[in-house]
Amino acid sequence: MTGTTLTLAADATGVGDALRWALTIAYIALLLTICIYGLHRYWLVYLYRKHQRHIPRPKRWFADLPRVTIQLPIFNEGAVAQRIIDAACAVDYPRDRLQVQVLDDSTDDSADIARRCAEEWKKQGIDIQYRHRTDRTGFKAGALADAMPDATGDFIAIFDADFIPNPAFLKRTIHYFTDDQVGMVQTRWTHLNREDSWLTRGQAIFLDGHFLIEHTARSRSGAFMNFSGTAGIWRRAAIEQAGGWQHDTLTEDLDLSYRAQLRGWNFVFLPWVRCPAELPPEINAFKSQQHRWTKGSVQTALKLLPRVLTSRLPLSVKVEAFFHLTCTMVYLYMTLMTLLFYPAIYVNIRFAGSESWVGVFLALTFFAMGTVSATVYYVASQKIQHRSVWKTIAQTPLLMAIGIGVALSNAVACLEALFRHESPFIRTPKYGDRPAARKPRIIPIPSMRLSITFLEIAMGFYMLECARLSLTITDTIVGLPFLLLFASGYFYVGFSSLYVHIRGYLDNRRPVEPQAA
């Protein structure tokens, strides 16, 4: 009997050791992967600083301004349709060389608003074309492709409905195309409602990093950058030679950007040319936008990364393209790592010796390295704008909490892309200049499943349980701050999302007051 007991104990120890090592390897592998992507942010900051003085300038100036078409893709944008059409028609450019195309796929009364506005500008001498599709094939990409045969410009400027281009936009960008190799010029997004809430402030910092650090670093170092879908201008020949707008991904802008650059076209980013726009004011709109961008990026990576890696491009361009196209996969890695927290803590303690704290400490060190890189990245983007460094550092936990909170929704987006699950293009709702700007009526988003919200809240409670377990075991208490940060991130996004679901449900039960024409 004693021998049998010893054998069972030895077997249990062997199984426990194997499980402990399997979990440890998986946990550390995920952390290392996340850390590598975090360290890549240092590289982007380095590239920015190395090339910050390499300011792009036009090769020369056009003696005669070329013909330009401004395209305005619109879908149910009643709150902002007139504003963007007015702004596009007011651009300071010779009227005999400017065309405006309103590409309206609307299925509600906003189509009447856009049509009337276009007719008014047509009476004032603007060459404006109102196009309404009843078949939304291809969504935004389909609307852009459908309009190209009737576009008269050699250059195509594109603005989403919530943007307000400055009257000088074209004259500040068009002359960069005197270089025959320039295929696209991108300008910087700024934010109309940056200070409305903690959520909009966080989004503004995220986008500042993307534009001021990433776009500048990539465009000036010779790496591939992307058209951001709006507030940019294309050479028509670059669009056509790259194969035109395609809608087999949810990020048609990223897809076309890479195809054009693979054909040898150069892109220019002008951070001093600003185009203000609206940030999603509520969490479900933000999550929907992030889900689309994440899924589309993975789809584009699956579609084009093999072509990039097997091309004759320089190794540095290939490496940067790999990180660029796959960076959203970090959300999936982060979610998997989160799910491993509890078993990793539990199994390491139950079956490891007294030195088990070493593995936990090293893992947390790797993770901290990644978080510090994010802090450096976002601080650099705010310092460029002469914003407070200390205030940005103080906001870093909020940025991390938002990033952690949306990780589950974005991980689902990654899996949908990897398993080729098709889904429609869901536009980000626009609220516009409404009287109750801080508490607008909630615009429902069909793609925002309530089940994901409940899972986010459940993840918050799961992280609290992990924190409780770490308190009971001395060797793992070092991870308590990170566990609480994860819990707060999931709770913030989950409960905010639930509140929006409830409020949207109640709002949409109330009758809508008719708006004045």
Instruction: Measure Cα distances from 403 to 121, 389, 487 in Å.
Output: 43, 20, 12
Q: How many CB atoms within 10 Å of residue 344?
A: 23
Q: Residue 435 pLDDT > 50, yes or no?
A: no
Q: Residue by residue, what is the 3-state secondary structure of 348-396?
A: HHHHCCCCHHHHHHHHHHHHHHHHHHHHHHHHHHHHHCCCCHHHHHHHH
Q: Residue 18 pLDDT > 90, yes or no?
A: no
Looking at residue 53, its pLDDT comes to 92
Q: Residue 512 pLDDT > 90, yes or no?
A: no
Q: Residue 418 pLDDT > 90, yes or no?
A: yes
The active-site residue, picked from 104, 160, 162, 253, is 253
C-alpha distance across the termini of the chain, in Å: 90
Return d(Cα 187, Cα 121) in angstroms, integer.
26
Return d(Cα 432, Cα 429) in angstroms, integer.
9
17 is catalytic: no
Return d(Cα 324, Cα 226) in angstroms, integer.
9
Looking at residue 469, its pLDDT comes to 86
Pairing mode, strands 232-235 and 155-158: antiparallel
Is the CB of residue 348 less than 8 Å from the CB of residue 20?
A: yes
Q: How many CB atoms within 10 Å of residue 358?
A: 11
Looking at residue 450, its pLDDT comes to 87
Q: Band of the pLDDT at 407, cuts 50, 70, 90? A: very high
Is the CB of residue 71 less than 8 Å from the CB of residue 101?
A: yes
Q: How many CB atoms within 10 Å of residue 480?
A: 15
Q: Residue 181 pLDDT > 80, yes or no?
A: yes
The active-site residue, picked from 105, 162, 255, 475, is 105
Return d(Cα 103, Cα 84) in angstroms, integer.
12
Please count the residues of the chain: 517
Give domain limits for the chain: 68-289
Mean pLDDT of the chain: 88
Return d(Cα 159, Cα 72) in angstroms, integer.
5
pLDDT in tens, 128-180: 999 999 888 999 999 999 999 999 999 999 999 999 999 999 999 999 999 99
Instruction: Measure Cα distances from 253 to 158, 223, 278, 494 in Å.
Output: 11, 17, 19, 30
Pairing mode, strands 127-132 and 98-104: parallel
Q: Band of the pLDDT at 96, cuts 50, 70, 90? A: very high
Order the strands of the 266-277 sheet from edge to edge.
127-132, 98-104, 68-74, 155-158, 232-235, 182-191, 266-277
Among residues 286, 319, 295, the alpha carbon closest in space to that of 305 is found at: 319
Looking at residue 2, its pLDDT comes to 52
- Name the amino acid, one letter, at 456: E
pLDDT mean over 104-129: 95
105 is catalytic: yes
The domain made up of 68-289 is a member of CATH 3.40.50.970: no
Return d(Cα 32, Cα 36) in angstroms, integer.
6
pLDDT in tens, 359-396: 556 656 666 666 788 889 999 999 999 999 899 988 88
Contacts of 203 (CB under 8 A, 6+ apart): 191, 279, 280, 286
Is the CB of residue 75 less than 8 Å from the CB of residue 106?
A: yes
